[in-house]
Structure 1
Amino acid sequence: MTDERSRKVMKRLVERSIHDVNELAAQTGLTKRQLEYSVEKINEFVTIDIGSKLVIENNRIILTNQLREQFIALLSDKIYAKEYLMNAFERSKYLYLILFYYADDYLSINHFIEELGVGKTTIINDLKNLTIELEKENIQLLYTRKTGYRLSGSEEHIRYHLMKMIIWDSTEYNTAFIYDQFLENHHIETLESTKRLIEKYTLEYGITFVENRLTEFLYTFIFLKKRLHILPAVFHDKYQLPALIAMKEYQFSKSILAHFGIEDEAAYRYLCAWILGLSIGRASESTKDYETIMELVKRIILRFEAISGIRFSNQELVVHQLYSHLRPAYYRLYFKLPIVNPLHNKIKNEYGELFNIVEETLKPFSSLFEHRIPEDESAFLTMHFAALCSNFDEYTTIQKVALIVCPNGIGSSSIVYTELKALFPELSFLGPVETNDIERLTDSYDLIFSTVPNIRLFYTKKPVYIVSPIMNTREKYRLISDVYTQIGNFNFKLPSVGKIMEIIKRHAAISEGSSLENELYEYLINQEEPNKTENDGPSLQEITAPELIQLEMSAKNWEEAIRLSAASLLKTGRITRNYIDTIIETAKREGAYMVISKNVALPHARPIDGVMQLGMSISVLKEPIVFGNKDNDPVKYIFCLAATENNRHLNAMVELVKLLDDPDFYSLLDTSDDPNEVYHYLSQEEVLTMEN
């Protein structure tokens, strides 16, 4: 028998030829002893010569091509799956699938024992654990002699839990193993047969899914269709959106359900809403909801530009990319569909400043949905803006061609693409493409970067590198080391941070070991700008100065107010006169885009319009002036921003956004006649921000 640990280790092992044991243990969440035990278990399945089995030597595991091929075969083999021993976590999921799928059947402990092949005590403990887990989701696991075991609670919550399980497993853990086991054991239609049917109708009606979203939909639909008739009254009211019937997604849903003999108006609407929340929006299509979604897209872009101080040069590209995401996001929020983003915490860590600005951008739009926009949804949108804000140069030429495979959608694809181009300027890139496209491109690339360790990739016989859609410094370092080591003609090898740390420890005491390690990783990846990451840009106090602060300023109109507020930046050589002229011309053409909240304006233009040095002036008008923004006029406080190309001002913008919620800050601006007093207040706020 093999188990989840062995399977997890094998999936990690096939990703690379050489593995550091400590790093592999961290990646798999195992202790070193557990890892060693899993290696022993895996070797029991290896049928090649004993000399070629897995060996831990010098704290490393080296994977031969022969072993990789056998592991790939094992992971794909149905016989291997039947000999698989589930752990408690997996049994809990499997029990939920039984309870969900066989809601109308009498289920007893004996059913569960027979199904899972474990003892009564084990099943009782599993049911206790499942009960505790479900209570967090407002679902009860009930038992009576008359009805047996059953799920009780809101049908919405019961479905949500299933969807969340499938999304987490397919995205975060990259596995559908438990679901495949269930479908096979119960002789339910296969994923492949359902996929053929769905793809037939997606082609007919012009519906497009991202690869991973389609997989999530297929598994969920197979389990859910038996329960579509269970639709409480609250669901009927919730999905009575008149525009739904005019959507192609509605006809798509009706055709799918008709195939399974389901003729129910409520089910059509429910499935239609679900499809709208999953499928890709296309700005080129004239749909019933086009004007609503496009208006939302443009308002979000305008507000993001106003708050972030970033002006996008290619508006068409920005609109098209955000439309593709915001159309399904709109329906997820409108219908309160499950929103699960496994990359949520990583996005917040790696793009913290941008995430905060996106959250601030979305605040006014939460009123459209009568509830706060979840952080998971904000994180999705942050990925798109992170890709759009990227200013990496375009590289051409190149000896080696790399294919990028990303089934996670446009946001992830764009970030991966720009990150890899920056890390490997020697490479030419194809893609990003979805997994199904690799077969037609076989002869046109030399190596593969993929966000998902799909077994099919390793059959290409090309070097495969698994990357996270959001890479931290250590992951970038490891990737550079792997690629340059394996592709010999680069003749490059990164120094070992571990070895450097060992040398330092022999000769000095280290008080902050992890911080030192991170700085070494950062320095070795990018020696031109050591210690500079997106998260440590200058503070608000660092980009302004007392000479850039004007209090009790008088102006006749909005144009003069902007010119006077920018004058100090011009005088100190931070901007050119053209920069001021561009702000005025843009405002005349586009309206008062710079008015970002009540009484506050943030005039700015693009860096190429005349920014010489990063800076911000702060001006307080003696008499407020109408700028032409009916919601937030009149303007009294003007923060004129001059941002440089690398977007390093975002940290300062996060601080400014927090200050704009601080009544004491406005009180100081209204009463003080000393720029130094205002300037020193910024340093106090910076300390508070860091502490929070």
Structure 2
Amino acid sequence: MRRDLILQYLYQKGKSLSSQELESEFAISNRTLRNELKELNVIGEKSGFVIQKKRGEGYLLHVENQELVQNYMKEIDGALAPDLPRVRVNNIIMLLLQTTEFQTIDLFADSLMISRSTVFSDMIEVEKQVRIFDLKVETKSRYGVRLIGDETNFRRAFSYFLSQKETGLLKKSNYQTFEKAFPFEEIRAVLNEEVQNNHLKISYFALENILVHIQVLSFRVTQHNFILPNQEKKLDLSLIKPSFMNIAKRICEILSELYHVVLPQSEIIYLAAHISGKSSVDEIEEEEKNDLEQKLKNCLEKLDQTFFTQFSGDQQLLNTLIMHMYPLLRRLYFNLKLTNPLIDDVYSRYSDVFMIALNFSEMIKEIWGFELSSDEMGYITMHLAAHVEREKQKQLSSYKKILLSYGLGAGSADLMKMKLESLFQGATIEVVVYSELQSVNLENYDLLVSSTAIPFDHISIPYIQVAPILTETDVQRIRRKLTRYPANKVKEDVPTLLSLFHNDLFSIEESKESFDYKAFIKEKANRVVELGYASPDYPDLVVDREEKISTILQNGIAAPHALKMVAIQDSISVVIFKNPPTIDGKVVQILFLINLRAGDLFLHKELSRLFLHLMDHPEAKQKVLKSNNFNDFQYEISKILFQYGS
């Protein structure tokens, strides 16, 4: 519930928060906030906390009994706000998936504690969501509604919503009874044993996905809903190796004995397809491997040409992609889903690489005819990001001999040296007092790090000035300055991040509680084209990108951008919402419409860091939100960029 989210927020911040910040963070009125805090304090009497209001500071969570508070925090971990449209829709779908019987509108209204009119309004979105899984909502007068469609599609949808791991999703009593008795650990042990015996490779997340599918399979068959033979015949059995069939057969034998049902061959085949689509084998047939390798090489070379990367020269990346693509193509062929619980973090922290993964997914669609889900693109992003991090580490490793110049005492120099040794592992770091620096031949070193300003007109090696006491911010700044990727293709005319913001692309929206988000960002993108910053296809590419996966991040930040980098001049449009709208359950307070030229991935990365800072530091975001004009906004952003050395 929302009050639990407010409590978690206060607990995580550990300091006084103003009412304005809390109202903005949760998009609620002052009156609603006071009511929520009042209810929390009633709960706190038995749960070991009290929320105090401090004059001139705001609200502070005071912990009176740490053990009671931690126990309550565990209870509400992952709490959902049931009044959010997204949560209501998910709950209605979950209730429908747990039965084949008609469900009344009154049942949804009572279960969710909402009005019938709200249920009718939410059903429009329910119908849109279930269509993604090729299911339909059937309505019958005086009976209610139910889902209809192939059993395979029921299971796809059911597995997807269970895999989200969101607490607070409504579960019927018969499902709760089933879930408590389901032998998770026994099935997990059997799967792990078979994986080892058959020399398979399977990730933790993929194993959990298979377990969820087996759980859904078990529940559905106890309700006498089976995969029909005509559905199983859609699968090409030649793609399912005998080892996967044997594992599926063993699992189905356990389930048959446990639930006293006879599982048909079609169930065994369908389970085997799931295991096949989520496992890699040690050995891939040579002809198949060579074909896959050549196609992936071509894809990586095209990415290199577009983004000035060096993917095609990384054999380790190619090998990992081959092993990932082998089961991925089977998943796509079998129409199976592999959820990615890290997708939000991956997109937030590697938005630049995610853009490359989007282009990679278009190539996959062109070659194999399959469209990747956002979850699958998240996994591709992780492989590409691993390459980027390896390349950056190589750049750091090239600094073999480093000179550290200090102006304070030897103690501070020792601390600085220890910090640098953790960053430049294996490098030789020599220390010299500043007064003796002029007598040192800098040509013998790869890098100079100094805690004092160097007055020399010409320094022949890279030079970085840091604080006398080396902070973690300094360490990260050194890493960023020395590890720009791609290293050998950086353009000389890359602008500063602050210069991307323009007065004619800045606006403040006073009232936007509800609106068509895609139409809004397309309107803003048209403005970018009108001013000559982007090519005419930019607006459509922005909408195309949004349809792939939402660019609304966390904590009120949205960062829409085009599917391809087609800028004529780099720019960022900014919209500050004084009355923040809620889009798909997420509040949007600040919108950054990104428009960059091909090859400016470094700027995309710097933008990601800015967005993460705003998401992780509500006080900084609040100052930006209070901007009354472009100059105010530019000033607050410049302070943030200066803080982390961009």
User: Structure 2-normalised TM-score?
Assistant: 0.53
Quick check: 1:239 aligned with 2:231? no
CA deviations 1:28-57 (Å, max 9, x no partner) are 555555444333222221136998435466
Cross-structure match for 1:11: 8
Q: C-alpha deviations, 1:461-482, integer Å up to 9, x for none?
A: xxxxxxxx99933465479989
CA contact (8 A) 2:297 2:312 kept: no
Counterpart of 2:270?
Answer: 270
CA distance in 2, matches of 1:154, 1:421: 57
Name the CA shift for 1:524/1:259 in 2 (closer, same or farther; >3 Å): same
1:19 touches 1:62 (CA, 8 Å); kept in 2?
A: yes
Q: 2:180 aligns with which of 190, 200, 206?
A: 190
The Cα of 1:5 is off from its aligned counterpart by 0.6
- How far did residue 152 of structure 1 move? 2.0
Q: Does 1:522 align with 2:520?
A: no
Report the Cα offset of residue 385 of structure 1: 1.0
Q: Distance in 2 between matches of 1:313 and 1:366?
A: 20
Aligned pair in 2 of structure 1 residues 376, 178: CA closer, same or farther (>3 Å)?
A: closer
- 1:649-688 aligned at under 5 Å gives the runs none
Secondary structure of the equivalent of 1:47? Answer: helix
Q: Contact (CA 8 Å) 1:341, 1:377: kept in 2 or not?
A: yes
Equivalents in 2 of 1:23, 1:217: separation in Å?
42
Alignment of 1:385-404 (within 5 A): 385-390=384-389, 391-393=391-393
Q: Give the drift of 1:9.
A: 2.5
Please state whether the residue corresponding to 1:472 is helix, strand or coil: helix
Say whether 1:99 aligns with 2:96.
yes
Amino acid at match of 2:273: A
Matched-pair contact (CA < 8 Å) for 1:333–1:369:
no
Name the counterpart of 1:473: 609
Decide whether aligned partners of structure 1 residues 64 and 126 sit closer, same or farther in structure 2, where only a CA change above 3 A counts. Answer: same
Whether 2:303 is the aligned partner of 1:307: answer yes
For residues 353 and 117 of structure 1, the distance between their equivalents in structure 2, rounded to whole angstroms, comes to 39
Structure 2 unaligned segments of length 5 or more: list them: 257-261, 398-416, 423-471, 480-553, 555-604
Structure 2 matches for 1:543-558, cutoff 5 A? Answer: none
Q: CA deviation at 1:244?
A: 0.7
Asked whether the equivalents of residues 361 and 371 of structure 2 are also in contact (C-alpha less than 8 Å), the reply is no
Residue 194 of structure 2 is matched in structure 1 by 204
In the superposition, relative to structure 1, how do residues 178 and 340 fare at CA in structure 2: closer, same or farther (>3 Å)? same
Question: CA 1:164/1:364 → structure 2, altered by over 3 Å: closer, same or farther?
Answer: same
CA distance in structure 2 between the partners assigned to 1:14 and 1:66 by the alignment: 13
Structure 2 counterparts to residues 123-138 of structure 1, below 5 A: 125-126=118-119, 129-130=122-123, 132-138=125-131
Would the alpha carbon gap of residues 49 and 517 (structure 1) be closer, same or farther in structure 2, given more than 3 Å must change?
same
For 1:506-563, what per-residue CA distance to the aligned partner results, in whole angstroms no more than 9, with x for missing partners? Answer: xxx84265455444323321x2xx3xxxxxxxxxxxxxxxxxxxxxxxxxxxxxxxxx
| Residues 1:185 and 1:351: Cα distance change in structure 2 (over 3 Å) | closer
Change (3 A) 1:196 1:187: same
Query: 2:265 corresponds to which letter in structure 1?
Result: E
Question: For the structure 1 residues 316 and 91, does the alpha-carbon distance in structure 2 shift closer, same or farther, using more than 3 Å as the test?
Answer: same
| In structure 1, distance between residues paired with 2:473 and 2:158 | 35
Residue 335 of structure 1 is matched in structure 2 by 334
Q: Residue by residue, what CA displacement relative to the aligned partner does 1:215-259 show, whole Å, maximum 9, x if unpaired?
A: 45544543343436443566323322313142x333333222222
| 1:137 match: secondary structure | helix
State the alpha-carbon separation in 1 of the partners of residues 269 and 93 from structure 2.
26
**Partner Cα distance (2:606, 2:151) in 1:** 34
Report the Cα distance in structure 1 between the residues aligned to 2:142 and 2:629, rounded to whole angstroms: 66
Distance apart, 1:100 and its partner CA: 2.0
Q: Does structure 1 residue 152 correspond to structure 2 residue 186?
A: no
Question: How much identity, in percent, do the aligned residues show?
Answer: 15
Q: Distance in 1 between matches of 2:58 and 2:313?
A: 48
Tell me how far 1:113 sits from its aligned partner: 7.3
Q: What is the TM-score with the length of structure 1 in the denominator?
A: 0.50
Q: Is the contact between residue 334 and residue 369 of structure 1 (CA under 8 Å) also seen in structure 2?
A: no
2:473 and 2:322 mapped to 1: Cα distance? 25
Which residue in the other structure is 2:71 paired with? 73
Corresponding residue of 1:667: none
- In structure 2, distance between residues paired with 1:351 and 1:399: 25
Please tell me the residue identity of whatever aligns with 1:193: P
Contact 2:278 2:338 in 1 (8 A): no
Determine the C-alpha separation between the residues in 1 that align with 2:36 and 2:211: 32
Partner of 1:222: 215
Aligned to 1:45: 43
Inter-partner Cα distance in structure 2 for 1:512 and 1:238: 61
What amino acid sits opposite 2:381 in the alignment?
T
What is the distance in 1 between the residues matched to 2:288 and 2:55?
61
Do 1:244 and 1:250's aligned partners in 2 also have CA atoms closer than 8 Å? yes
Structure 2 CA distance for partners of 1:156 and 1:30, relative to 1, 3 Å: farther
Deviation at 1:90, TM superposition (A): 4.3
Q: Distance in 2 between matches of 1:190 and 1:49?
A: 27
Residue 292 of structure 2 is aligned with which of 296, 321, 326?
A: 296
Specify which of 157, 163, 175 is matched with residue 161 of structure 1: 157
Whether the aligned pair in 1 keeps the contact of 2:349 and 2:612 (CA below 8 Å) is: no
In 2 relative to 1, CA 110–235 (structure 1 residues): closer, same or farther, beyond 3 Å?
A: same
Question: Cα distance 1:424–1:364, how it changes in 2: closer, same or farther (>3 A)?
Answer: closer
1:45 maps to a residue whose letter is I
> Is 1:178–2:173 an aligned residue pair?
no
Structural mapping, 1:524-539, within 5 Å: 524-525=643-644, 527=645, 530=646
Q: Displacement, 1:109?
A: 5.9
CA distance in 1, matches of 2:249, 2:325: 24
CA deviation profile, 1:374-415 (whole Å, cap 9, x unmatched) = 5654454233212312343469966999xxxxxxxxxxxxxx
The change in CA–CA distance for 1:122 and 1:515 in structure 2 (over 3 A counts) is: same
SS, match of residue 141 in structure 1: strand
Q: CA deviation at 1:311?
A: 3.2
1:197 corresponds to which letter in structure 2? I
Counterpart AA for 2:96: L
Residue 258 of structure 1 corresponds to which residue in structure 2?
A: 253
* Cα 1:41/1:277, change in 2 over 3 Å: farther
Question: What is the DSSP-based 3-state SS (H/G/I as helix, E as strand, rest coil) of the residue aligned with 1:177?
Answer: coil
Q: Could you say if the C-alpha distance between residues 26 and 269 of structure 1 is closer, same or farther in structure 2, counting changes exceeding 3 Å? A: farther
What are the equivalent positions in structure 2 for 1:108-147 lying under 5 Å apart?
116=111, 122=115, 125-126=118-119, 129-130=122-123, 132-138=125-131, 139-144=135-140
1:99–1:40 Cα change, 3 Å: same
The 1:185–1:323 alpha-carbon spacing in structure 2 relative to 1, beyond 3 Å, is same
Alpha-carbon distance between aligned partners in 2 of 1:251 and 1:238, rounded to the nearest angstrom: 20
3-state secondary structure, aligned to 1:53? strand
User: 1:327 Cα deviation (Å)?
Assistant: 3.4
Comparing 45-54 with 323-332, greater Cα deviation is found at 45-54
State the number of aligned residues: 435
Q: Counterparts of 1:335 and 1:240 in 2: how far apart (Å)?
A: 9
User: Is contact 1:191-1:219 (8 Å) kept?
Assistant: no
Find the residue that maps to 1:188 and give its secondary structure: helix
Shift of 1:209: 5.1
In the alignment, structure 1 segments of 5+ residues that lack a partner are 402-418, 427-451, 453-468, 483-494, 531-692
CA distance in 1, matches of 2:29, 2:289: 49
For residues 599-614 of structure 1, the aligned pairs below 5 Å read none
Instruction: Say if 2:162 and 2:212, in contact at 8 Å, map to a contact too.
Output: yes
Q: Which residue of 2 aligns with 1:610?
A: none
